[in-house]
Amino acid sequence: MSLIQRLFSGNWRRIIGLFWFDLVWFAAVAGRDGWLPLTVLLVVVQIYISSAGRPFNLRLYAQLLLLGLALEATVISSGVISFNGGWLPLWLLLLWAGFVAMLMNTLDWVAGRYWVAALIGIASGPLTYAIGIRLDAAELLRPEWQLWLIYALLWSLYMVIFAKLMQVNGGQQNAENTSTS
């Protein structure tokens, strides 16, 4: 097995995908419009990492991306948060494009594990928005506890749907096959 094959198999695939997404997140949130070319490049690589050595489910990717954008539209429309750069700025769309690729790659093992998925959503979802607000990527329009509550609820729901879609689309099987690598 070559070095590239080893890097994109099993847990290495997940670790690389997770750390690469940190770069995507930083470029999109901290750099916003000024770093769009870099963010695009990082997202393209994120998608490559997600698909390296295994089939990429474009239909599942599109479903999760649209669901994530619906999550954002819900919170924006409720008047809790306003993003720097417009209603759904390009940097935010790119962030979601990278996030969904990372999610399918690093958390495929969550398939069918609904409570784990919900807890991941509750713990990680609101935190990223709270940090983004502090980096001036968004403006909080309501008390912060509302941001935490609404994003915790929506992100837990998003992650449960993700766990179901991954299970239906063979994510758990893929996770079992790569965990032995």
Ordered per-residue pLDDT tens for the chain, 181 residues:
565 555 556 788 889 999 999 999 999 999 999 999 999 999 999 999 888 777 889 999 999 999 999 999 999 999 999 999 999 999 999 999 999 999 999 999 999 999 999 999 999 999 999 999 999 999 999 999 999 999 999 999 999 999 999 999 876 444 444 343 3
What angle (nearest 5°) sits at the alpha carbon of residue 109, between those of residues 48 and 157?
95
Q: What is the pLDDT of residue 51?
A: 85
Kindly state the DSSP code that residue 80 receives in the 8-state scheme.
S
Kindly state the DSSP code that residue 136 receives in the 8-state scheme.
T
**Residue 106 to residue 104: CA distance in whole angstroms:** 6
Q: What is the pLDDT of residue 170?
A: 76
Q: What is the pLDDT of residue 162?
A: 97
Q: What is the pLDDT of residue 125?
A: 93
pTM of this prediction? 0.88
Coil, helix or strand at residue 139: strand
82: β partners: 139
Kindly state the DSSP code that residue 140 receives in the 8-state scheme.
E
Contact criterion met (CB below 8 Å) for 79 and 142: yes
